[in-house]
Structure formats: structure tokens, C-alpha cells
């Protein structure tokens, strides 16, 4: 399909789904058995080695102090040095990153996986790699891509993200000069834009860390909990109430999987389109507890095919959160603007200012 047509077509499909909701059926579920991403240790070690070799590859870290460069280099191995030599002098431009974006967009749509798209799980990977940020200790966030390492890769909150990491590993094999943090966040940006969402400005600059940088378990939100917990978790990252609600609009996308979180089902009838449907449904539908053997979750009374997590429902139970749910349900443009801004902030959490070499770019849709 001519890609320029993709987003408008999707949006038309969303409009259609709004008018014929009752006939919409969740797609058949198939759970990927894709293996966990291979470690490719030599390649990311190569980044540190390039610094040590002063090879000029490391252009996005403008002014690493010798101590920082030494820290990176100390863990670099011989393989890394060899690989770094191949990259020395290679300075990726916006066009190079656009090629990576295009490749991600190309492999995103796939028959037989969930709703025929890896888009939602790519957004979740980018979010979980960024949402570990703690502003007090200035640890976590998207900088080091620590989810490559156990135990973070095995944290229950990250169940199923091996699928997204494996998909992006294929892209990394083709573009081995990109850092994993840049690749995963670019994956999130590509997914949002290609699924009809707003443009999300993005810039490179994240570096690959080491297993010592892995974040402790418990930094991501628990879906069984409500507003106090949401505030505790998201304030820690530096977000306010409005931003918490805007971020939650991402649940227009994707679905819950019993073999990952234990919950089941999609939030909206259009799980591969970025829309404000999540907010509309939260307000307009009657939500009842689902009677089943799984964890407590809501289902829509009318069709019984949609779901809300207890943490989603908290957004309409809390007065301050609800004000924003109402605004975003009424005004999709407002939601798109705020969503774009808050995603930029999310994806840049934990990256030191000095690592950015450029103002954010708008990547072209594929």
C-alpha cells in the first residue's frame, strides 16, 4: 500500500468502526513464540570502545568527560574494539535514522500476530524502557536500554516485550550503529505515527549501558491499583496529572494477553489506530466487572468484548483525572497535541542533556 495513504485509510476505518461498533470483533488471538532477543553484546560494547579509541563515531555524546569515557571504555572488550573500527568515521545523519524508521514501519504490519501489527507492542517496549526513570536518583529511563539484561528483561511488567525486542533486533542487525535506546524509542515513534497518531519529535543520543545499570523491579505501574498508585509512580518520573491522563490514552492501542499480564482483551474497537476512543469509551460505556477466573478487570456491558484495567477506571473515579478524560474525549486534536508532547518527554527520560547533538526531528511517515 502506498504508505502516504495508510494513515488516512486507518482513520477512515476508525470512523467506520465508531458507527458499526456492535459488529466489530476482536481479531483472533495468536501469541508469538518469538525467542528473546539475542544479546549481540559485541555491538553495543562497540559504542564504548569507539569512545576509547577516539574514533569519532560517538558523535552524539558531545562532551563526555574523560572519566565518563573511561567508564564506558572500561567494560569494552576486544570484539567491541574491532567492531568500533568499522564504524569509526561513520556519522549517521537524519537520513540514516529515517532509513531505520522506514524499515521499522515496513516490518510493523504482519499477518497472524494479534491485530496484524507489532505497532502496539513496540509502543509498550518504548514506554517500559523509558518509564523506569526515577527523578530523585536520576536513574533508569531510555538512555541505557537496560531491559536487554536480566533481571529487568524478566520483570513481570515486561512479560511479552521479548517479542518487540526480537522484532527490533532484526532492524539492529541491519543498522548495527544505532544504540538500542535510540532504536526502541524510534520504534515507539514510528509505531505511533504509522498507526495514524500525531507526529512525535525525536532525536538520537541515547547510549547503551551495561547490566550494572539495570533498574530495580517495581518502577512500572501495577494495573490492579488505582489513583494513589498512579500518582506515586508517574510523579516519580516527573509527570503531572494532565500528563498521566494523556499518556494513558495510549491504551487506545493493543490488547492485554492472558499469558503476559493475565488480563485479556483490547480497550477499543480499533486497537491499531491512535485515537481518543479510549477516553470516549471510558465515559460513554457502562463498565461492569467481568465474571471470570482471571484477575479483576472491567468489561463493557453492551458487547462484553472490550476491557478496562482497574488502573484505567481510576481515571474516571478521580475528580482531577476525570477532568482531563472529559477534555480529551471531546477534543481529539487537543489529545493529539498533548500526547505528542508527553511522549517526547517520556522517551527522553534519563538522557543527560549533553548527549543530545540536535534539536528533535520530525521523522517522515513511511
The span from the CA of 188 to the CA of 193, in Å, is 9
The three-class DSSP label of residue 117 is strand
Residue 287 is placed in which grid cell?
463498565
Q: Which residues contact 93 (CB under 8 A, 6 or more apart)?
A: none
Q: Which is nearer to ligand HEM, 84 or 281 (CB)?
A: 281
Contact positions with ligand HEM (CB under 6 A) in 296-355: 309, 311
- The answer to the question of residue 160 lying near ligand HEM (CB under 6 A) is yes
The full DSSP string for 198-264 is ----B--------GGGPPPTT-SPPTT--HHHHHHHHHHHT--HHHHHHHHGGGGS-EE-TTTTS--
Are 243 and 225 spatial neighbours (Cβ–Cβ below 8 Å)?
Answer: no
Question: Any catalytic annotation for residue 128?
Answer: yes
The separation between the first and the last C-alpha atoms of the chain, rounded to the nearest angstrom, is 11
Are 44 and 176 spatial neighbours (Cβ–Cβ below 8 Å)?
Answer: no
Q: Using alpha carbons, select from 316, 323, 310 the residue that is nearest to residue 282.
A: 316
- The answer to the question of residue 219 lying near ligand HEM (CB under 6 A) is no
- The answer to the question of residue 290 lying near ligand HEM (CB under 6 A) is no
Contact positions with ligand HEM (CB under 6 A) in 14-33: none
Q: What binding mask, one character per residue, do residues 230-249 give for ligand HEM by CB under 6 A, x or -?
A: x----------------xx-
Min CB(129)–ligand HEM separation in Å: 11
Min CB(351)–ligand HEM separation in Å: 17
- The answer to the question of residue 276 lying near ligand HEM (CB under 6 A) is no
Question: Any catalytic annotation for residue 184?
Answer: no
Residue 44, H or E segment: helix 41-53
> The cell 560494547 sits on which residue?
45
Closest residue to ligand HEM in the complex (CB): 254
Q: What binding mask, one character per residue, do residues 100-139 give for ligand HEM by CB under 6 A, x or -?
A: --------------------xx-xx--x------------
Contact residue for ligand HEM among 10, 172, 219, 260 (CB under 6 A)? 260
- The answer to the question of residue 223 lying near ligand HEM (CB under 6 A) is yes
Q: Which residues contact 159 (CB under 8 A, 6 or more apart)?
A: 259, 260, 261
Q: Which is nearer to ligand HEM, 127 or 298 (CB)?
A: 127
The full DSSP string for 87-101 is HTT----HHHHHHHH
Catalytic residue among 128, 155, 251, 257: 128
> The cell 561513520 sits on which residue?
90
Min CB(57)–ligand HEM separation in Å: 31
Q: Which is nearer to ligand HEM, 80 or 160 (CB)?
A: 160
Min CB(244)–ligand HEM separation in Å: 7
- The answer to the question of residue 250 lying near ligand HEM (CB under 6 A) is yes
Give Cα separations from 160 to 36, 83, 154, 211 (angstroms): 9, 31, 10, 20
Question: By CB under 6 A, how many residues form the interface with ligand HEM?
Answer: 23
Q: Using alpha carbons, select from 18, 53, 173 the residue that is nearest to residue 104.
A: 173
Catalytic residue among 127, 177, 184, 267: 267
Candidates 30-38, 104-112, 174-182, 254-262; binding stretch for ligand HEM (CB under 6 A): 254-262
Could you list the residues that contact ligand HEM (CB under 6 A)?
A: 120-121, 123-124, 127, 160, 221, 223, 230, 247-248, 250-251, 253-257, 260-261, 263, 309, 311
Active-site residues: which are they?
A: 128, 267
Amino acid at each position: 500500500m502506498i504508505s502516504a495513504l495508510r494513515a488516512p485509510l486507518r482513520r477512515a476505518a476508525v470512523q467506520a468502526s465508531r458507527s458499526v461498533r456492535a459488529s466489530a470483533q476482536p481479531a483472533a488471538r495468536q501469541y508469538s513464540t518469538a525467542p528473546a532477543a539475542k544479546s549481540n553484546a559485541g555491538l553495543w560494547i562497540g559504542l564504548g570502545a569507539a569512545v576509547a579509541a577516539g574514533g569519532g563515531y560517538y558523535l552524539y555524546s558531545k562532551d563526555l568527560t574523560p572519566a565518563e569515557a573511561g567508564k564506558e571504555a572500561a567494560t569494552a572488550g576486544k570484539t567491541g574494539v574491532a567492531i568500533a573500527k568499522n564504524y569509526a568515521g561513520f556519522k549517521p545523519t537524519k537520513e540514516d535514522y529515517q532509513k531505520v524508521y522506514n524499515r521499522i514501519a515496513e516490518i510493523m504490519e504482519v499477518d497472524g500476530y494479534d491485530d496484524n501489527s507489532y505497532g502496539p507492542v513496540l509502543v509498550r517496549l518504548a514506554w517500559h524502557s523509558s518509564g523506569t526513570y526515577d527523578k530523585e536518583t536520576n536513574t533508569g529511563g531510555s538512555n541505557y536500554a537496560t531491559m536487554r539484561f536480566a533481571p529487568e528483561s524478566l520483570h513481570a511488567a515486561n512479560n511479552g516485550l521479548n517479542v518487540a525486542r526480537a522484532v527490533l533486533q532484526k532492524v539492529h542487525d541491519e543498522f548495527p550503529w544505532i544504540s538500542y535506546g535510540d532504536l526502541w524509542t524510534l520504534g515507539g515513534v514510528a509505531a505511533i505515527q504509522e498507526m495514524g497518531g500525531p507526529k512525535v519529535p525525536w532525536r538520537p543520543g541515547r547510549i547503551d549501558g551495561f547490566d550494572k545499570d539495570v533498574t530495580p523491579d517495581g518502577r512500572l505501574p501495577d494495573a490492579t491499583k488505582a489513583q494513589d498508585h498512579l500518582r506515586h509512580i508517574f510523579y516519580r518520573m516527573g509527570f503531572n496529572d494532565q500528563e498521566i491522563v494523556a499518556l494513558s490514552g495510549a491504551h487506545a492501542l493493543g490488547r492485554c494477553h492472558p499469558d503476559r499480564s493475565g488480563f485479556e482483551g483490547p480497550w477499543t474497537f480499533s486497537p491499531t489506530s491512535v485515537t481518543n476512543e479510549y477516553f470516549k469509551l471510558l465515559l460513554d460505556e457502562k463498565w461492569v466487572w467481568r465474571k471470570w477466573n482471571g484477575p479483576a478487570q472491567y468489561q463493557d456491558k453492551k458487547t462484553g468484548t472490550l476491557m478496562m484495567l482497574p488502573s484505567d477506571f481510576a481515571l474516571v473515579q478521580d475528580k482531577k483525572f476525570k477532568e482531563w478524560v472529559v477534555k480529551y474525549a471531546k477534543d481529539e486534536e487537543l489529545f493529539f497535541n498533548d500526547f505528542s508532547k508527553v511522549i517526547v518527554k517520556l522517551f527522553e527520560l534519563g538522557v543527560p542533556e549533553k548527549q543530545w547533538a540536535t534539536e528533535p526531528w520530525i521523522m517522515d511517515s513511511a
